[in-house]
Amino acid sequence: MRPHFLKRRPHAPRMTNWTVITLILLIGLSVVAPTKLPVVLYKAGLVTLGGVLGYWIDRALFPYARPNRVMRTAQPMAGIRRALVVLACVLGLTLGL
């Protein structure tokens, strides 16, 4: 065990690097083609809506088979099922509109 005076240095939250890269790319896009920003925001909104909708559809269809409430041996399959439902909703919204 570590002594209390040897503290870990603080780390940035997960995905911080990718968030910074995304912001730099969006700033670059706003300089090069500012008319495309609403399209990017629209598409990001569709992906987000598809993810949230897929999550709630999975919860509604399988109320007693949530990944954290099934037996340990069935947890991977419940997680895969939820991921497929979310994927279907994201693809349905982004490809259909």
For residue 10, which phi and psi values (nearest 5 degrees)?
Answer: -70, 140
Give the Cα separation of 44 and 93 in Å (integer). Answer: 11
pLDDT digits (tens, 9 = 90+) for 50-70: 999 999 999 999 999 998 899
Give the Cα separation of 82 and 58 in Å (integer). Answer: 6
> Do 2 and 16 meet the contact criterion of CB atoms below 8 Å apart?
no
Whole-prediction pTM: 0.74
Please report which confidence band the pLDDT of residue 34 belongs to, taking 50, 70 and 90 as the band edges: very high
